């Protein structure tokens, strides 16, 4: 009877340790390997494998008098929320119309080389007649860029270059949840299947401004 108890305890301990080991290697702190790869491809590769995001999860937004901004960007509510203000904030996101005919919308974003996003300017074309999904799709798409999704997908959904069918996929939702689950400047390289290429852009307390533009 005593030896049976010892064997049973030993098997339990082995199973417990194996379970912990599997969980740590697959999740890496909340996401799968594929989730971290996607986060790298559309965010962290811009800063040596460190994440770029807003410091707060409550982000100031100025709608710029564009009808429908609130409902369109509230599709991103979850990992972040929005505080709508009456003037363009120096530390938030601002929308405005443009007469440019070369794009449906564009986002210029500003972040420090510590990984902290601190400003984004979204310009929306007055004429959305040639833009797939129309104004709402364009607003939601550009807001995705302003929150930290850089580049585009190719699966026919919202973050495609033309806004696709307007769907925010589970993969993109997982991206936002993972990005905003940890502070800006989080090193995700331990969760990647390859060693990141060091360029020296990232600095833990950096104040050098880096500017990017997405369409």
pLDDT in tens, 69-82: 999 999 999 999 99
pTM score: 0.86
Looking at 3.30.70.100, 3.40.390.10, 3.30.470.20, 3.30.70.920, the CATH number of the domain 33-214 comes to 3.40.390.10
- pLDDT range class, residue 5, cuts 50, 70, 90: very low
- In the predicted structure, residue 170 carries a pLDDT above the cut 50: yes
User: What are the distances in angstroms from CA 12 to CA 5, 22, 58, 151?
Assistant: 10, 15, 44, 47
Domains in the chain: boundaries: 33-214
Please count the CA atoms within 13 angstroms of the CA of 62 that sit on its side-chain side. Answer: 18
- In the predicted structure, residue 14 carries a pLDDT above the cut 60: no
pLDDT in tens, 38-60: 999 999 999 999 999 999 999 99
Bridge-based pairing state of the strands 81-84 and 105-112: unpaired
Q: How far apart are CA 158 and CA 136, in angstroms?
A: 11
DSSP string, 168-198: --HHHHHHHHHHTTS-TT-B-GGGSSSPPPP
């Amino acid at each position: 009877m005593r030896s049976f108890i010892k064997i049973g305890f030993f098997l339990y301990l082995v199973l417990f340790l194996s379970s912990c080991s599997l969980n740590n290697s697959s999740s890496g702190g909340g996401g799968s390997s594929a989730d971290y790869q996607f986060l790298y491809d559309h965010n962290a590769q811009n800063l040596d494998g460190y994440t770029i995001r807003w410091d707060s999860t409550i982000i100031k937004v100025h709608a710029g008098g564009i009808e429908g901004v609130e409902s369109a960007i509230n599709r991103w509510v979850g990992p972040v929320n929005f505080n709508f203000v009456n003037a363009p904030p120096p530390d938030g996101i601002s929308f405005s119309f443009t007469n440019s005919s070369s794009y449906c919308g564009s986002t210029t974003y500003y972040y420090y080389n510590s990984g902290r996003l601190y400003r984004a300017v979204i310009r929306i074309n007055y004429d959305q007649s040639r833009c797939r999904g129309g104004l709402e799709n364009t607003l939601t798409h550009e807001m995705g860029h302003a929150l930290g999704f850089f580049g585009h997908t190719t699966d026919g959904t919202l973050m495609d270059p033309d806004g696709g069918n307007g769907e925010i996929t589970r993969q993109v939702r997982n991206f936002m949840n993972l990005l905003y689950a940890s502070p800006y400047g989080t090193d995700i390289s331990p969760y990647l299947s390859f060693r990141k290429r060091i360029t020296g852009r990232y600095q833990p307390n950096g104040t050098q401004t880096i500017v990017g533009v997405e369409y």
